[in-house]
């Protein structure tokens, strides 16, 4: 065959750069078995990273190293910043020296620096005595200097600045004088008063906790909160089950109910029953008692065999399957859907996908501490960058799942003073065991996350922000939250470290519909579990109608009406206004034929899976 008739392949084409210029050489054909070889190379990478993760608690040393290198290199090239830090160090040294002299002359002299809001480590009056006040003041001054050192270095990326600042805060928390029993006056005074009994009791507490963790038992006191008896105890039936969910329908408490049912979509990072805790603070029971027909998803606790279950599978086998089941029981009735945390994000995805194909089965959407825009996800972004996600994917690829204990470790690091060191001081040094409550027991009831789903979540939502950008694909189509024209009720909590309220507030910017927004007191969990009668609860609420101007989050906070009590009541009244005025007889519990047969009593079997 001559060259004129030789078939041309893409890899063998000659690229003409110019009429007289040089020509590129032909690309060599791919090696046989190249795909398989490449997969083996990637497997080596994942295995190495997964092994390293055992030594680093799942944190990427490459990401941390890059952050510190960025900070150190730019600090080294910033003589102005270096001079500023030297001046600040001298000023703080002078302030501390004056404080020492004042304290020697007058033991009641005021301090030279105040602790940050929410930092109660040195709140006890015992810290005002010498020499403890000097230690606490020196620590706070040092903490302030390091804040200056890790912030405002010209040229450092915001993400790297946050990572370095966070790491330094963690180190400072470790060396805080409050964590040293010989420097903590509260511990020393109790040791003297009790003759050392607190140390003995603290050692017993530590041993009990260590033993339970080593033997994979739940913490002390959780046995007093039995699922199905003390918590997750609202009467109902399991009326549908597939590989991923059990759907519960709760027993009505009256002869008449609202025509439109309510579907609750909880997060699967933990068990569903945070929304059905003890009878007095169960959101499910609250709704049922006020005449709503309530359905709730209970997610299966996946295993390594579910490694390939994707975020789309959670949408299809979760929200969409639940809606199909509800429609079989309550036909031709739109559903009020409410989602919490990651369940709310999934509900927003499902609602946008339904709007894309004119599926009108939803009456409203309620989002509780649920993000739809991930450009400002709070301090969780410290653990989310390309290097860290690759590290997590390697861990999950090897195991098939991400264990909830690893997620819990990240959350504890975000609030190490409250969740780690405070507990060590009170339970192990002071010997005082904090009584277990239903929320703490639920928090200890961990779940696992499948490899593919969590990878989808981190990459498509956190890293790429596909949902807010209109790039998220559902059923092969890009979906947009702007297609939602349903009334939305969104709730943020003012001390949320998981879904900061200003991030949750961004639902206003992503939709063009009526949005009622609530900012309630409390954190990610306790702010949502906010039953009527809970002392000290308060919230702000304001509605924005479609086409009205959108306020900045701070502007909204300044204008929203403040109320005392529980936001649950306002939400239930909102649901009632959107429901048909005529009450109806309760629907049957399940049906007599698949897919909605009665399969057992609530809370079902999936919630009991360890």
Residues with Cβ within 8 Å of 234's Cβ and at least 6 positions away in sequence, in order, are: 250, 276, 279, 282, 284, 285, 288, 602
Dump pLDDT digits (tens) for 327-342.
Answer: 999 999 999 999 999 9
* Whether the predicted pLDDT of 55 surpasses 90: no
Nearest to 262 by CA among 299, 233, 297: 297
Q: Is 57 left (phi over 0), alpha (psi -120 to 50) or beta?
A: left
pLDDT at 415: 65
State the sign of the Cα–Cα–Cα–Cα dihedral 93, 94, 95, 101: positive
Q: Contact at 8 Å (CB) between 540 and 562?
A: yes
What fold characterizes domain 236-400+437-608?
Answer: Rossmann fold (3.40.50)
In this predicted model, which residue has the larger pLDDT, 16 or 465? 465
* Whether the predicted pLDDT of 408 surpasses 80: no
How many whole angstroms separate alpha carbon 461 and alpha carbon 375? Answer: 9
Structural element, H or E, at residue 489:
strand 488-493
* Whether the predicted pLDDT of 295 surpasses 80: yes
How many whole angstroms separate alpha carbon 564 and alpha carbon 536? Answer: 8
Mean pLDDT of 410-435: 79
Dump pLDDT digits (tens) for 513-564.
Answer: 999 999 999 999 999 999 999 999 999 999 999 989 999 999 999 999 999 9
pLDDT at 1: 41
Residues with Cβ within 8 Å of 289's Cβ and at least 6 positions away in sequence, in order, are: 253
Query: Can you read off the two tokens belonging to residue 389?
Result: 């996600």
Mean pLDDT of 375-392: 82
Dump pLDDT digits (tens) for 203-249.
Answer: 999 999 999 888 888 899 999 999 999 999 999 999 999 999 999 99
How many whole angstroms separate alpha carbon 553 and alpha carbon 557? Answer: 6
pLDDT at 11: 37
Count of positions (residues) in the chain = 610
* Whether the predicted pLDDT of 418 surpasses 90: no
Exposure b/e, 197-209, CB count within 10 A at least 16 = b: ebbebbeebeeeb
- Per-residue pLDDT band at 294 (split at 50, 70, 90): very high
- Per-residue pLDDT band at 383 (split at 50, 70, 90): confident
Mean pLDDT of 176-200: 93
- Count CB neighbours of 518 within 10 A: 25
Nearest to 413 by CA among 379, 454, 453, 449: 379
DSSP string, 265-326: E--SSB-GGGGS-SGGG-HHHHHHHTT--EEEEEE----GGGTT--HHHHIIIIIIHHHHHH
* Whether the predicted pLDDT of 110 surpasses 70: yes
* Whether the predicted pLDDT of 416 surpasses 80: no
Distance of CA 52 to the CA centre of its chain: 25
Over pLDDT 70: what percentage of the chain? 91
Q: Which residue has the tokens 């830090």?
A: 85
pLDDT at 213: 85
Nearest to 459 by CA among 475, 445, 473: 473
pLDDT at 564: 96
Q: Contact at 8 Å (CB) between 109 and 130?
A: no
Q: Is 341 a catalytic residue?
A: yes
pLDDT at 21: 44
Choice among 72-81, 97-106, 133-142, 589-598 with the minimum mean pLDDT: 589-598
Q: Which of 112, 296, 341, 596 is catalytic?
A: 341
* Whether the predicted pLDDT of 20 surpasses 50: no
pLDDT at 14: 32
Q: What DSSP state is assigned to residue 417?
A: I
Domain-wise residue ranges, the chain? 61-190, 236-400+437-608
Query: Can you read off the two tokens belonging to residue 331?
Result: 């036909």
- Per-residue pLDDT band at 414 (split at 50, 70, 90): low
* Whether the predicted pLDDT of 271 surpasses 60: yes
How many whole angstroms separate alpha carbon 121 and alpha carbon 288? Answer: 43
* Whether the predicted pLDDT of 199 surpasses 90: yes
How many whole angstroms separate alpha carbon 115 and alpha carbon 497? Answer: 20
How many whole angstroms separate alpha carbon 371 and alpha carbon 357? Answer: 23
How many whole angstroms separate alpha carbon 399 and alpha carbon 308? Answer: 12
* Whether the predicted pLDDT of 3 surpasses 70: no
pTM given for the model: 0.88
Mean pLDDT of 185-201: 94
pLDDT at 297: 98
C-alpha gyration radius of the chain = 28
Alpha helices in 386-474 (DSSP H): 386-399, 404-414, 416, 422-423, 438-443, 451-456, 466-469
Q: Work out the mean pLDDT of the chain and round it to a whole number.
A: 89
* Whether the predicted pLDDT of 68 surpasses 70: yes
Choice among 224-238, 285-299, 430-444, 591-605 with the minimum mean pLDDT: 591-605
pLDDT at 406: 66
Mean pLDDT of 88-100: 95
- Per-residue pLDDT band at 29 (split at 50, 70, 90): low
3-state helix, strand, coil in the chain (%, to 5): 50, 15, 40
């Amino acid at each position: 065959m001559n060259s004129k008739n030789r078939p041309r392949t893409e890899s063998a084409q000659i690229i003409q750069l110019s009429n007289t210029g040089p020509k590129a050489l032909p690309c060599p054909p791919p090696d046989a078995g190249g795909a398989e070889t490449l997969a083996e190379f990637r497997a080596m990478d994942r295995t190495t990273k997964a092994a390293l993760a055992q030594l680093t608690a799942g944190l990427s040393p490459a990401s941390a190293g890059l952050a510190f290198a960025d900070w150190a290199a730019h600090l080294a090239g910033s003589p102005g910043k270096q001079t500023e830090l030297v001046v600040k160090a001298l000023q703080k040294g002078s302030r501390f020296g004056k404080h020492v002299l004042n304290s020697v002359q007058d033991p009641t002299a005021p301090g030279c620096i105040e602790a940050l809001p929410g930092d109660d480590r040195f709140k006890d009056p015992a810290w005002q005595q010498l020499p403890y006040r000097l230690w606490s003041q020196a620590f706070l001054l040092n903490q302030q200097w390091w804040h200056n050192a890790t912030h405002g270095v010209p040229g450092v990326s915001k993400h790297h600045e946050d990572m370095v600042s966070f790491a330094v805060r963690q180190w400072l928390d470790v060396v805080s004088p409050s964590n040293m029993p010989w420097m903590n006056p509260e511990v020393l005074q109790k040791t003297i008063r009790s003759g050392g009994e607190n140390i003995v009791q603290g050692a017993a507490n530590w041993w009990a906790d260590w033993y339970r963790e080593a033997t994979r038992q739940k913490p002390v006191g959780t046995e007093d909160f039995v699922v199905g008896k003390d918590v997750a105890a609202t009467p109902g039936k399991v009326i549908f089950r597939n590989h991923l969910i059990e759907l519960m329908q709760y027993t009505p408490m009256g002869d008449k109910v609202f025509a439109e049912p309510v579907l609750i979509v909880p997060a699967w990072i933990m068990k569903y029953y945070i929304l059905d805790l003890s009878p007095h603070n169960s959101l499910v029971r609250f709704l049922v008692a006020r005449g709503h027909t309530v359905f709730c998803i209970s997610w299966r606790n996946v295993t390594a065999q579910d490694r390939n279950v994707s975020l789309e599978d959670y949408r299809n086998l979760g929200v969409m399957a639940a809606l199909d089941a509800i429609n079989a029981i309550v036909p031709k009735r739109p559903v009020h859907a409410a989602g919490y945390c990651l369940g709310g994000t999934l509900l927003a995805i499902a609602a946008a996908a339904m709007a894309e194909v004119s599926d009108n089965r939803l009456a409203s959407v309620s989002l509780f501490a649920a993000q739809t825009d991930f450009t400002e996800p709070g301090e969780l972004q410290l653990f989310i960058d390309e290097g860290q996600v690759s590290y997590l994917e390697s861990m999950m690829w090897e195991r098939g799942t991400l264990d909830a204990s690893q997620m819990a470790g990240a959350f504890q690091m975000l609030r190490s003073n409250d969740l780690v060191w405070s507990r060590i001081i009170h339970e192990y040094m002071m010997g005082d065991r904090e009584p277990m409550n239903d929320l703490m027991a639920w928090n200890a009831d961990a779940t696992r996350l499948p490899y593919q789903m969590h990878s989808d979540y981190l990459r498509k939502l956190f890293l790429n922000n596909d949902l807010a950008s209109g790039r998220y694909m559902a059923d092969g189509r890009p979906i947009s939250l702007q297609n939602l024209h349903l009334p939305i009720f969104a709730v943020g909590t003012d001390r949320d470290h998981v879904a900061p309220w200003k991030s949750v507030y961004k639902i206003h910017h992503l939709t063009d519909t009526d949005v009622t927004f609530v900012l309630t007191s409390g954190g990610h969990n306790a702010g949502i579990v906010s039953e009527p009668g809970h002392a000290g609860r308060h919230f702000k609420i304001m509605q924005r109608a479609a086409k009205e101007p959108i306020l900045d989050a701070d502007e909204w906070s300044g204008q929203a009406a403040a109320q005392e009590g529980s936001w649950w009541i306002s939400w239930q009244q909102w649901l009632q206004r959107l429901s048909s005025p005529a009450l109806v007889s309760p629907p049957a519990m399940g049906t007599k034929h698949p897919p909605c047969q009665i399969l057992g009593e609530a809370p079902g079997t999936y919630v009991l899976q360890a």
